[in-house]
Amino acid sequence: MSPSPWENVSGLAGRCGESFLWVEACAAGDSVRTGYYAVLKAAGELAAKGVRPSCASVRILFPPGAEEEELKEITAGVEEACGRMDMEVTALQGETVCAAAQTIVTATASGKSDRQELSRDQRETSLQEKLKAAPEQEIVYCGYAGLEGMLRILDEAREELGARFVSTFLEQAAALADELVTPDKILALFTDEGAQQRITAVCPVGSGGILAALWEVSETLGTGLAADMSGIGIKQETVEICEFYRLNPYQMTSAGSFLIVTEDADAVTEILEKAGARAGKLGVTKAQNARVITSGEEVRYLDRPAPDQLALWQAGRQKQTLS
C-alpha cells in the first residue's frame, strides 16, 4: 500500500512490544518564536497518536545576512517549547542558505509507546470496523481556530498592528499563547481507558486551518460529515487581527488545536476540559460522501483545502519587501 498523504508519523517496533515513533514538522517566518511553533507542531502530531514526546532535534535554515544573535533567539524559542512540554533538545543545528527567503525551522519530535502499534492495513481495517458499527460518530473540536496563525502574525507585525490597536489589546492577544493545546492535554484522552476505546481518530489542525482538517478527517476515514461553524472556538483577538489583514482564520494554520472523532463527544469534552483545554462538539460523520458546513441559515459544501492564510500573508509581505 502506498503511504498515506495524511500520515506524518513514522515508527519502529521494538522486541518487547513497545514502539519508537517520530515526526517531523516545519515552521517558517521572520519571528524569533518560529522554532517554538515547529516544536509545538511536531509534539502535537505525536500526542495525537497517544505518544508522549520526550525529545526534539531541530535544524534551522537562515536567509543570507542572518547574524548569530538570531540563532540565539530561535534557540531560546525551541528551549521554551521543550521546557513547557517536558522535552529534551537532543540536537540543534543552524546554517545560512541562499535559497531561504525567511527563517525555516524543522523540528523532529520522538517518543516511545508501550502500546503495540498496528500496521497501516490493520489501522484502516480498525477504522472501517468502527465506522461501520457507528456511521454517525461525533466530531469534537479542541482548541481555537487560527490562534497559532494570529500569534505568529502578531510576532512578525507587532509594530504595524500597534498603529491600529491599543497596546492593551495586543498584550491580551499575545497572552493567548497559553490557550494553545499542548500534548499533555491531548494525552489525557489516552490515559482514560474508557475514552480511548471510544475514540476513532485524533487529527491535529495544521496548515490550512480547521476547514482543511475537516477535509483531511473525511478523506482519511472515507466518510462524509455535517459540521456547524458555531461549534468552532475562536478568540475575538484572532477575528479582529485577521479582519485587519483580510484573512480567513478558518483557513489559517492552527497548531495547538485538534479534531477528535468519537462515539461519545460528551465524555471526550469532559476529559479535555478537566485537562485545561477548550473543547466542544462540532458535528458528525456521515455514511454518504457529502461534506456539509452550516453557519446559521447558510448551508454549503466543504471545498478542497485552500492555501494557508498565514503563508499567503507572509508571501505578500515578502513581495512588498523585495519590490
User: What's residue 30's pLDDT?
Assistant: 92
Same domain (yes/no): 49, 98? yes
The pairing of beta strand 103-113 with beta strand 199-204: unpaired
Question: Is 2 inside any structural domain?
Answer: no
C-alpha grid cell for residue 66?
Answer: 542572518
Q: What is the pLDDT of residues 54-63, one digit of tens each?
A: 999 999 999 9
Question: Is 1 inside any structural domain?
Answer: no
Q: Which residue range forms the structural domain that includes residue 249?
A: 120-322
Last residue of a domain, one of 81, 98, 113: 113
Same domain (yes/no): 133, 271? yes
Question: Is 102 inside any structural domain?
Answer: yes
Question: Is 131 inside any structural domain?
Answer: yes
Last residue of a domain, one of 83, 113, 143: 113
Question: Is 3 inside any structural domain?
Answer: no
75: domain CATH number? 3.30.1330.10
Same domain (yes/no): 107, 141? no
The pairing of beta strand 224-228 with beta strand 291-295: parallel
C-alpha grid cell for residue 294?
Answer: 452550516
User: What's residue 11's pLDDT?
Assistant: 73
286: domain CATH number? 3.90.650.10
Same domain (yes/no): 233, 214? yes
3-state secondary structure of 218: helix
User: What's residue 3's pLDDT?
Assistant: 46
Burial of residue 277 (number of CB atoms within 10 Å: 0-12, 13-18, 19+): buried
Last residue of a domain, one of 96, 113, 130: 113
Question: Is 4 inside any structural domain?
Answer: no
Q: What is the pLDDT of residues 129-175, one digit of tens each?
A: 555 445 689 999 999 999 999 999 999 999 999 999 999 999 999 99
User: What's residue 284's pLDDT?
Assistant: 94
Same domain (yes/no): 249, 159? yes
Number of domains in the chain: 2
Same domain (yes/no): 287, 181? yes
User: What's residue 322's pLDDT?
Assistant: 67
Same domain (yes/no): 306, 214? yes
Question: Is 14 inside any structural domain?
Answer: yes
Buried b (16+ CB within 10 A) or exposed e, 126-154: ebeebbeeeeebbbbbbbbbbbbbbbbbb
Same domain (yes/no): 169, 302? yes
Low-confidence stretches of the chain (pLDDT beneath 50): 1-3, 117-120, 122-123, 132-133
Same domain (yes/no): 24, 168? no
User: What's residue 135's pLDDT?
Assistant: 65
